[in-house]
Structure 1
Amino acid sequence: MRLSRKAAGIAAAVAILSAVVPATAAVASPRSTCYGGRVCLYADFDYNRGQADHWRDFMQDDSDFSDNNWLNWDFSNSWESMDNDTSSVRNRIGCSATLWQHPGFTGAHSTFMNNSNDGFLANNAIDDDRASALDIWCR
């Protein structure tokens, strides 16, 4: 059975799409989850929904965010500093985690219990775009 040129073109397009779509669909945005054993920070409100997807996850303290850059949705370096740029948080570390206003764990701060989410840091003492350090309390 011979395919017409149109049918052959459609079949070729379907073959190409089926090869491309699974590869891109397999890359899930990190904002959709925050894996256990981590504290995930996001550059925008509501875990970046509808905004640039800059995020970072931590498994231990970080006393100064000024030497950290946000990651893009595909885990590549965004080359944008995350210092004073956090707007939401998910805590899956297994204990409390505190965001601090200044490096070295000083200034205003907000503590987040294990398995807590806050998509709007502007309503906390740490406020929006002021976090410069993360202290994890698993001691």
Structure 2
Amino acid sequence: MRLSKKVAGIAAAAAALFTVVVPATAAVASPRSTCYGGRVCLYAGFDYNRGQVDHWRDFVADDVNLEDNNWLNWDFSNSWHSMNNETSSVRNRVGCSVTLWQHPYYTGAHSTFTHNSNDGFLSNNAVGNNRTSSIDIWCR
């Protein structure tokens, strides 16, 4: 009897040693998964930052020069990282067409996105990847 209790104790200790503990995580809504109506959302990474640093920003009005804007982090805090020439994907929920421009003040190569359009890979557009410097929202 003594031996089986000892074996049972060793088996329990071994099981405890190899048990994986998964910590509970708080459910935080990531902006990458949602772009609310009435907004245009720009993302620093392809596919709306999936698997990348979650830098994003939403707009409700034109901006002639993104150089003075910083990305937001997933928790809505300021990343202190300039948005200029750093956009890789876009979601348009503003209700009208939006144009992303290569240079400030709406100059250079550009790409237009209609209402409710998404593009997770701006490399396939005239504006290109990491080249957006201004945003023109047509209905504002």
Establish whether residue 46 from structure 1 lines up as the match of residue 74 from structure 2: no
Q: Kindly, what percent of the aligned residue pairs are identical?
A: 75
| Structure 1 Cα separation of the partners of residues 87 and 69 of structure 2 | 12
Establish whether residue 129 from structure 1 lines up as the match of residue 130 from structure 2: yes
The answer for the alignment partner of 1:79 in structure 2 is 80
The answer for the alignment partner of 1:97 in structure 2 is 98
Establish whether residue 62 from structure 1 lines up as the match of residue 63 from structure 2: yes
1:62 positional shift: 0.3
Aligned Cα root-mean-square deviation (Å): 1.2
Aligned residues: 118
The one-letter code sitting in structure 2 at the alignment partner of 1:64 is N
Q: TM-score, normalised to structure 1's length?
A: 0.82
The answer for the alignment partner of 2:121 in structure 1 is 120
| Structure 1 Cα separation of the partners of residues 67 and 119 of structure 2 | 22
The one-letter code sitting in structure 1 at the alignment partner of 2:68 is D
Unaligned runs of 5+ in 2: 1-22
Unaligned runs of 5+ in 1: 1-16
The answer for the alignment partner of 1:110 in structure 2 is 111
Larger radius of gyration: 2
Deviations 1:2-58 (A, max 9, x none): xxxxxxxxxxxxxxx8xx85xx31x21001010000000000100000000000000
Q: TM-score, normalised to structure 2's length?
A: 0.82
* 3-state DSSP of counterpart to 2:80: strand
| Structure 1 Cα separation of the partners of residues 103 and 117 of structure 2 | 22
| Structure 2 Cα separation of the partners of residues 44 and 51 of structure 1 | 6
Which runs of 4 or more aligned residues in structure 1 lie more than 4 Å from their structure 2 counterparts after TM superposition? none
